[in-house]
Structure 1
Amino acid sequence: MKRRALWSTALVAPLALYGCGSAAGPDSSGGGDGGTLVVWDWKSGDATAESYIEAAKADFAAKHPDVEVEFVAQPFDQYYNLLGTAIQSGEGPDVMLFNGGGQLRDRTDALLPLEDYLAEDMDRLAGWEAFTADGHVYAAPVTLQGHPIYYNKALYEQAGLDPEAPAATWEQFTADCAVIKEATGADCFALGNKEGIGIQFFLSGMGSGVLTPEEYDAWIAGDRDWTAPGVKRVFEMWVEAEQAGLNNEGVNSTAMFNDQFAVFDAGDAAHTIGLMSDVGHWKDFGEFLGAENVGVMPAPVAIAGAEPSLPYDGGIGYGVAEWTADPELAADLVRSLSSTAALEAFYADAGAIAADTTIDASSSGPATAEIVDAIQTGKPALHVALSAETIELMGRLSQQLLSGSVTVDDALAQLAESDQAG
């Protein structure tokens, strides 16, 4: 049996060793004068990202042959804690990797605005909004990250359902899940919420089938009404799916990475809300199920007036620390990390949907083609618009909702208070 790769296999680097990563010391001005740039991320230790990192290094070395670049791969589950320690001390890596949205926006005080350095890349790359705050760009997007609803076409066929016509409404969707369960024994959803991440994917994956376009756009713009019927309906669906037995067993004790996706890969669940890039995505699923059996469906409509769309943003991107000794040099490394050559390698070997719009990713199977096509009308993911504090609270409340220890109304009241405070 094929073994799954872990989210990150890199070991943490001691802060004492990498506490100061400035490129240019007192005797160096960067560029051709030598020096070292230190990069922190959680990708450079992954085998599938090796060709991407090497291509980025080669691009940078062609411009700055005397500057050494040192990548320090941190474990993802500790990454932001380690980064917080570095930020508190005011010294650390020159270049840092971020998830788009709250994780970056909550740390912009430690980052340099990059729009002046990256002006030539603005048209080529998509996903800038996830790395923008207060009118400034703080990181260059490397991937586009979204949350498609994947389904197993082979299970649909075994259940006598049309694999090319998944349900368009929530009512029909749950009915189809009952048919699949009866015919194949497979659950409806593969879901992991041990870390409280499952609710993020559910909110964004299902939200466009519940909110009207106007409500959706208002949410992204920061005008969020947590008591609105559409918002309440998403959280009710979260609870209903569990109570109706649509999920795999033990959702709150199942890790998303990688246990949730292993359930889907094994054919033990017909659907999962996954990623477009990194892991839990079209390339990963295709290797286990066969690319021809991986489908992508729009969110089933639960409230009239909703218009399903693909939720996506800039996925991950590299930013520059405000303490770096040579901002222009560090920004040039960011440009190499988002160069076409590097991103082509990332797409080919890791299955990333690259932020570079000049790369054709439509020939890697039907799921990829559907994702690429849906990007044209996609909208930002709902959970990415929230602060890190509200995201953390939502994770805790989502577990309590599944266990029955909090009501939907109480959970939404707490989330509204947190969101307003943020």
Structure 2
Amino acid sequence: MRQRTLWPLILATGLAVAGCGSAAPTKPSAGSAARKIVVWDWKSGEPGAASYVEKAKTDFAGKHPGVTVEFVAQPFDQYYTLLGAALQSGKGPDVMLFNGGGQLRDRVGTLIPLDPYVAEDKERLAGWDAFSKDGKIYAAPVTLQGHPIYYNKSLYQKAGLDPASPPKTWNDFVADCAAIKKAGAKCFALGNKEGIGIQFFMSGLGPGILTPKEYDDWIAGKRDWSSPHVKEIFSLWKKVNDDGLNNEGANSTAMFNDAFTVFDTGKAANIIGLMSDIGHWKDFGEFLGPENVGVMTSPVVTAGATPVLPYDGGIGYGVSKTAKDPQLAADLVRSLTSTAALTAFYEGAGAITADTTIDVSQSAPAVAAIVPQIKGGKPALHVALSSKTLDLMGRLSQQLLSGSASVDDVVTQLAASDKAS
């Protein structure tokens, strides 16, 4: 059941929140005093996002006194189905939250380009590419989403390994896994019940498999699904499971949040996690202790690979073509991506936000390991794919783990889907 949170934004002041990253107070749109903006997302109802939403609505109220904003928090597992139905019926929201990549790009026909409205924010925020198509921006980034490999330093130490020196090559990684097994834990925590474990695996380990040129070609849309290195991603996916490196029953384990629990409880030493506000450094640190949460880049699997941090814009807000006042809706998007709001999101939920001006120097060791890699990072491999291809890849990945599909069959089907997208 969806959760509704209705905030009448009626504040006397006309001043924006200091340090919000927005321009001077915006002149209210004509008729805005009697207006309401409806926002759909899956974040506003979560406790960790409460201070973020509060800062954003305060910023917006300072620019548009009297305008009411209604946040409708939808369940994430039904979000895009519900959104599609609402948009098709002409009763969709004014402002909508999207995951970066295919989920956004497949729906740009329902959105207005934001370029005229967010020009002043482009230098401050990172992750725009995940919310762009054909040179136009359709949503403003809130978080950066990436797939670092987290490891449990205490388990590494228990296994007689040096937690300060994680493995650099795949052979070393597998050798470490053998030591970890002797210490009583699995190597990887994996959840693929939703079919998204393969997305984490592709983007987390792909930088150690593809050469830099292959990687760049993939992101640019020049994908050769029949190449040996692309096949290696899926071969390794199957081999890791066949060799018992994953927790038992990966296909029946939900990534959100059962796989994360496997890692949190010390039953597995490594997990390909997230950078945003779940399955990330802060969640893991609350269970393991911040000092025990390590971060590594992908071990090198094939010669010539140069591992980097895979990341994109994580989630971002866009404006519907049906919005009655696009300027007003775009101003709300700017408030939702203001420095004040994103600082609150980082402090409250631990999200690595899109705002590059936020000081994270006093944060946990894992953040200190992640943030410096952002500048040299590259877009995540799976984000370049359409939502239809990702759905197919999820189903095929389950078949690979169960042994009912071959790698050649999988890449052939994915190539056909990718070409048709």
- TM-score scaled by structure 1? 0.93
- In 1, distance between residues paired with 2:54 and 2:220? 38
Contact 1:147 1:310 in 2 (8 A): yes
Q: Provide the residue aligned with 2:105 in structure 1.
A: 105
Q: Provide the residue aligned with 1:3 in structure 2.
A: none
Q: Provide the residue aligned with 2:12 in structure 1.
A: none
Q: Provide the residue aligned with 1:252 in structure 2.
A: 251
> Alignment partner of 2:218: what SS?
helix
- Shift in Å, 1:30: 5.0
- In 2, distance between residues paired with 1:89 and 1:153? 51
- In 1, distance between residues paired with 2:347 and 2:33? 35
Q: Which residues of 2 match residues 3-152 of structure 1 at below 5 A?
A: 11-12=1-2, 32-152=32-152
- Shift in Å, 1:175: 1.0
Runs of 4+ in 1 over 2 A off after TM superposition: 28-34
- In 2, distance between residues paired with 1:131 and 1:30? 29
Q: Provide the residue aligned with 2:374 in structure 1.
A: 375
Contact 1:31 1:64 in 2 (8 A): no
- Shift in Å, 1:366: 1.2
- Shift in Å, 1:210: 0.4
Q: Provide the residue aligned with 1:158 in structure 2.
A: 158
- In 2, distance between residues paired with 1:120 and 1:178? 52
Q: Provide the residue aligned with 1:21 in structure 2.
A: none
Provide structure 2 residue ranges, at least 5 long, that are not aligned to the other structure. 7-27
Q: Provide the residue aligned with 1:237 in structure 2.
A: 236
Q: Which residues of 2 match residues 271-286 of structure 1 at below 5 A?
A: 271-286=270-285
> Alignment partner of 1:208: what SS?
helix
- Write out per-residue CA displacement over residues 47-82 of structure 1, whole angstroms, 9 at most, x where no aligned residue: 000000000000000000110011000000000000
- Write out per-residue CA displacement over residues 208-232 of structure 1, whole angstroms, 9 at most, x where no aligned residue: 0000111000000000000111111
Q: Which residues of 2 match residues 318-397 of structure 1 at below 5 A?
A: 318-397=317-396
Q: Which moved more, 1:28-37 or 1:316-325?
A: 28-37
Q: Provide the residue aligned with 2:210 in structure 1.
A: 211
Q: Provide the residue aligned with 1:302 in structure 2.
A: 301
> Alignment partner of 1:112: what SS?
coil
- Shift in Å, 1:323: 0.4
Amino acid at match of 2:93: P
1:290 aligns with 2:280: no
- In 2, distance between residues paired with 1:411 and 1:138? 32
When the two structures are aligned, how many residues end up with a matched partner? 399
- In 2, distance between residues paired with 1:413 and 1:341? 47
- In 1, distance between residues paired with 2:385 and 2:362? 34
- Shift in Å, 1:31: 5.8
Q: Provide the residue aligned with 2:13 in structure 1.
A: none
> Alignment partner of 1:66: what SS?
coil
- Shift in Å, 1:350: 0.3
- Shift in Å, 1:29: 5.9
- Shift in Å, 1:363: 2.1
- Shift in Å, 1:90: 2.4
- In 2, distance between residues paired with 1:308 and 1:230? 14
- Shift in Å, 1:32: 4.3
- In 2, distance between residues paired with 1:29 and 1:288? 48
Provide structure 1 residue ranges, at least 5 long, that are not aligned to the other structure. 1-10, 19-27
Q: Provide the residue aligned with 2:416 in structure 1.
A: 417
> Alignment partner of 2:208: what SS?
coil
Query: Structure 1 residues 376, 177: CA separation in 2 closer, same or farther (over 3 Å shift)?
Result: same
Q: Provide the residue aligned with 2:223 in structure 1.
A: 224
Q: Provide the residue aligned with 2:176 in structure 1.
A: 176
> Alignment partner of 1:313: what SS?
strand
Amino acid at match of 2:320: A
Contact 2:345 2:351 in 1 (8 A): yes
Contact 2:29 2:327 in 1 (8 A): no
- In 2, distance between residues paired with 1:86 and 1:103? 16
Q: CA RMSD in A?
A: 1.3
- TM-score scaled by structure 2? 0.93
> Alignment partner of 1:49: what SS?
helix
